[in-house]
Amino acid sequence: FTSLLHLLGASEEVAPPVQQCFMVPKKEINVVSDMAKWKRSQAYADYMGFILTLNEGVRGKKLTCEYKVSEPIEKLVALLNTLDRWIDETPPVDQPSRFGNKAFRTWYAKLDQEAEKLVSAVIPKHLADAAPEVAVYLKESVGNSTRIDYGTGHEAAFAAFLCCLCKIGVLRVDDQMAIVFKVFNRYLEVMRKLQKTYRMEPAGSQGVWGLDDFQFLPFIWGSSQLIDHPSLEPRHFVDEKVVNENHKDFMFLECILFITEMKTGPFAEHSNQLWNISAVPSWSKVNQGLIRMYKAECLEKFPVIQHFKFGSLLPIQPVTS
């Protein structure tokens, strides 16, 4: 991933380097054999590079530490606050089935309608043409309104949304920590609220054999935060007291807290994969293992990637460099 620093706009110039022809992203992975195209694509290289850059950026850092918060970061948080407010304005409806509350469709219709406007408020005027392309990833990141479900493919769309904002220079290299700690963390809070309020189904869940019903990335970045921690080891995250005392500092523990709030019974039974991970000796081993698992279980699975959309910023074309 040599292109990382240019991906995160390390250069100082404000104007985009070349006149970009933006396009509305579309589906390109239609049959299982198309997966080879995805793995060779510029989109895959840039997406994975983005995830790994942020993984390094938050290494050994607490959520509560000091970091730079730029204006675009503030605007992204405001956008997520708007989505949160809409949940309050769209209470669940009475319906016979317990799961998949239909009020989610009302909430989603609002986002569908407003997404481009929301994105336009985040990006500078000279990049206005990018809004329709970038907005597609935002709309894809909150779950499916037909099935009223949410999973790692939706989470990937939000990471792609942030990656696109880096590629057009709205977010930059020194925004790394704020991207994860401020924006992505706020996104997680809003998604958890959606999942609880509308009782969303986990999309493509592997049940007890999956890492988590809904998210994956906060476990990767969250384990990186814990690398070289003086006292917290992987075996500690299954200890309720440790989680309660430290979850505000570490994304990984915040995820564990949410799981224990949502699920009953012994941790080893409802979250077997995580239980196994707690036996790994070091956080750096956990982090490396989770990156491998993310590629294998999410990015290389057709049911997840068939929904991914490709445009000018995340192109299906093979890697050039």
| Those residues with Cβ within 8 angstroms of residue 319's Cβ, 6 or more apart along the chain or in another chain | 40, 41, 42, 44, 45
Average pLDDT estimate for 15-40: 87
> What is the domain extent for residue 116?
26-93+100-184+194-203+303-310
| Residue 19 placed within a domain | no
Q: Are residues 44 and 172 in the same domain?
A: yes
Model pLDDT, residue 2: 37
Measured in degrees and rounded to the nearest 5, phi and psi for residue 262 equal -90, -25
The CA distances from residue 227 to 181, 204, 208, in Å, are 16, 30, 26
Angle CA 50–52–56, to nearest 5: 120
Q: Are residues 225 and 160 in the same domain?
A: no
Average pLDDT estimate for 293-313: 95
The CA distances from residue 58 to 53, 169, 310, in Å, are 9, 20, 28
| Residue 11 placed within a domain | no
- 117-139: per-residue pLDDT in tens? 999 999 999 999 999 999 999 99
Percentage of the chain beyond pLDDT 70 is 92
Nearest in space to 223 (alpha carbons), one of 293, 294, 287: 287
| Those residues with Cβ within 8 angstroms of residue 293's Cβ, 6 or more apart along the chain or in another chain | 211
Look up residue 248 and give its amino acid: K
Lowest mean pLDDT among 17-31, 79-93, 162-176, 262-276: 17-31
- 34-62: per-residue pLDDT in tens? 999 999 999 999 999 999 999 999 999 99
Q: Are residues 221 and 171 in the same domain?
A: no
Number of domains composing the chain = 2
- 203-252: per-residue pLDDT in tens? 876 666 678 989 999 999 999 999 999 999 999 999 999 999 999 999 99
Strand 149-150 versus strand 26-27 pairing type: unpaired
- 151-169: per-residue pLDDT in tens? 999 999 999 999 999 999 9
